Structures are given as structure tokens and as C-alpha cells.
Amino acid sequence: PAAAEEVTIPIIVKDTTSFYWQIVLAGARAAGKDLGVNVPELGAQSEADINGQITILENAVAGKPAAVVIAPTEFKALGKPIDEAAKSVPIIGIDSAADSKAFTSFLTTDNVEGGRVAARGLAAAIKAKTGKEAGDVALITALPGVGSLDQRAKGFKEELAKYPELKLVADKVADGQATTGLNITTDLLTANPNLVGVFASNLIMAQGAGQAIAENKVADKVALIGFDNDDKLVGFLKDGTIAALVVQDPYRMGYDGVKTALAASKKEKVEAFVDTGANLITKANMDEAKNAALLNPKVK
């Protein structure tokens, strides 16, 4: 029917239930409108659900689209399926890499780099609060077994090692629940009286950790760095509960992803690799035009 004529380019994200990926989808949607492309928005229900994403990729390819935009949820696991898919359609990768040479193009934030940015930001914030880059810090990861989160942790630890005075006293992995993040942070504050910094490496954990900082009124002593953003976190950033946010450019990933895919499907020449970057946004620089745009993406 009608769908047959118009070009279809599905976009497959890691977890449709998270706001970050909703921004990616929003970008893709916008691109679809601008370019007159039909953009099915697909994705697993959790970043840990590898089998789920493979299944969705299989189904998407079965739909005979012009191209597929995908954010591979796990480096190794998605490799073969993507090779397989690439036999019938061009594949555009966004956000994270996968073990495949078959990508036509690739737009990504390097999550390891994101972790490094967070570490630097944390050190700076601690210096701002305590006057020196010294003290105990903690890392809270939302879920185990999630590629991008592991990479952030990796980058964070590597970079932190460059600050001999900063000691990583706790490396906690939660269950994806804000409440758990809140409980863990509260208990960390109880257990480590001279805790000066926390890195909550995704949206939900940052919300929980932020709540704990606010609840215990320690914003002036403990620096919290979050990853990604939404109203809640921006609020925390404004009132100083959160020292800084590491913000990627999901909207652009989505938009350019679809744009590139369309080009690729028309056999046009496309950029093989684009880094969309990870930016550190603090209360100080949050009002700069570029950052302001990043902080309130046009989701709806």
C-alpha cells in the first residue's frame, strides 16, 4: 500500500523507556518530517536486553526498509546480526560501536570519553567546594552488564587515576531504580563522612543521587556529577544540588542518523565517522546558547 512508495528508515535505540533515547527518537522524527521519510521508532525495553534488540533488528530488516539506523546495545553481540542485516540494507550506527565492519556510517559519542569528562568535571567541582582536589569519591552505575555504562565507568576511573588525592571509595551498581540510587547515596554519605564527590553515570541514578544530596543538605560539601539531562536534573543544576552534567547530543544523533541513512540509501557519499561529542555543562555555562539548546531538546 501507501507505505510501499514512501521511503522507510527505522531507527532502533537501546531502551525506549529512557528519556535520553526519547530525545534521539525526537531528532529522528524531526528528520523524518523534514526529509519526507517514514521513520519507525523501535527499541528494546531495557539496555540490558540484547536478545530483544537483535530480535527487533531482524524484524526491522524483514520490513524491507531503505536503510536502518541503530544504536547497538552491546559491542560484540550485535556484530553478527548487523553484518547479516547489512547484506540487504545500509546500516547507520549511532551512539555506540559494534563489532562489525558493515556500518555505512557511524555517528557516536565516545562513552569512555564521556566518563573522562565527568572525572575532570568532578575534580574541578570538588576544588570549587573544598579548595583542593582531594577526598573520597564514589561511582554509582545504574545497571550491570550495560555496555555504555561500563565504558563511562572505565573512562571515569582512568581519568580519576590522574588525581592522586581523589580516592574512589565506592563503586556501586544499582538495579536501575531511582530509589535505589537514592538509598545507596544516602548510605554512602553515612558510611563515608569525608565523601566529597559522586558520579552518577546515567539519568535515573543522577535523579536518585541528586535527591539524596538535597535530602541530606550536603550540596555545599559533596559534588555530584550526572550524565544526560532532563527537567529534573536541570532543576538540580540550577539550585546547585548537581555540580555538573555530562551531556551528549542525542537529538543530533537521531537527526543526522536518519539524514545520513537517507543519503546512504540513495548511494550518495557519506561521512564514515562523526563524533557528536560529550559536553560538560555547569551552572556557570548552562545558559550559553549551545548548552541551553542541549538542555531543552525539542522532544514533543
Partner 1 sequence: MSTVDAASAKASQARRNYSFLFALTLLGLLVLLWVVLAIATPNFMSDKNISNLLRQGSMIAILAVGQTFVIITAGIDLSVGAVVGFTTVIIALLINAGVPVWLSILITLLVGLGIGLFHGFGITKMGLPPFIITLATLTSLRGIGLLITNGSTISIENDDFTAFATKDFLGIPSLFWMVILVAVPAYIFLNHTRWGRYLFAVGSNPESARLSGVRVNAVIYLAYALSSLFAAFVGVLLATRIGIGNATQAEGWELQAIASTVIGGSSLFGAVGSVHGPLIGAFILATINNGANLLNVNSFWQRIITGGLIIVIVYFDQLRRRGR
Cell of 54: 537483535
Residues in contact with partner 1, counted by CB under 8 A, come to a total of 72
Instruction: Please state whether beta strands 68-70 and 11-13 pair in parallel, antiparallel, or not at all (unpaired).
Output: parallel
Integer Cα distance of 93 and 273 in angstroms: 9
Angstrom CA distances, 295 to 232, 258, 279, 292, stand at 11, 22, 11, 5
Minimum CB–partner distance for residue 33 and partner 1 (Å): 16
Stretch that binds partner 1, among 40-48, 116-124, 155-163, 254-262 (CB under 8 A): 40-48
Minimum CB–partner distance for residue 23 and partner 1 (Å): 9
Which residues ranging from 239 to 298 are in contact with partner 1 (CB under 8 A)? Answer: none
Distance of CA 66 to the CA centre of its chain: 27
Which residues ranging from 44 to 63 are in contact with partner 1 (CB under 8 A)? Answer: 45-46, 48-51, 54-56, 58-63
Which residues ranging from 96 to 135 are in contact with partner 1 (CB under 8 A)? Answer: 99
Which residues ranging from 173 to 232 are in contact with partner 1 (CB under 8 A)? Answer: 173-179, 182-184, 186-188, 190-191, 203-204, 207-208, 211, 215, 230-232
- Residue 71 or 182: the one with the smaller Cβ distance to partner 1 is 182
- Residue 46 or 108: the one with the smaller Cβ distance to partner 1 is 46
Among left, alpha and beta (phi > 0; psi -120 to 50; other), residue 116 is alpha
Among 9, 28, 31, 42, binds partner 1 (CB under 8 A): 42
Which residues ranging from 10 to 39 are in contact with partner 1 (CB under 8 A)? Answer: 10, 16-19, 21-22
Minimum CB–partner distance for residue 208 and partner 1 (Å): 6
E-assigned strand segments in 113-210: 135-141, 166-173, 195-200
Minimum CB–partner distance for residue 288 and partner 1 (Å): 23
- Residue 46 or 265: the one with the smaller Cβ distance to partner 1 is 46
- Placement of cell 540494507 in the chain: 89
Cell of 295: 538542555
- Residue 162 or 235: the one with the smaller Cβ distance to partner 1 is 235
Integer Cα distance of 115 and 154 in angstroms: 7
Q: Which residues contact 180 (CB under 8 A, 6 or more apart)?
A: 174, 208
Minimum CB–partner distance for residue 298 and partner 1 (Å): 13
Q: Which residues contact 161 (CB under 8 A, 6 or more apart)?
A: none
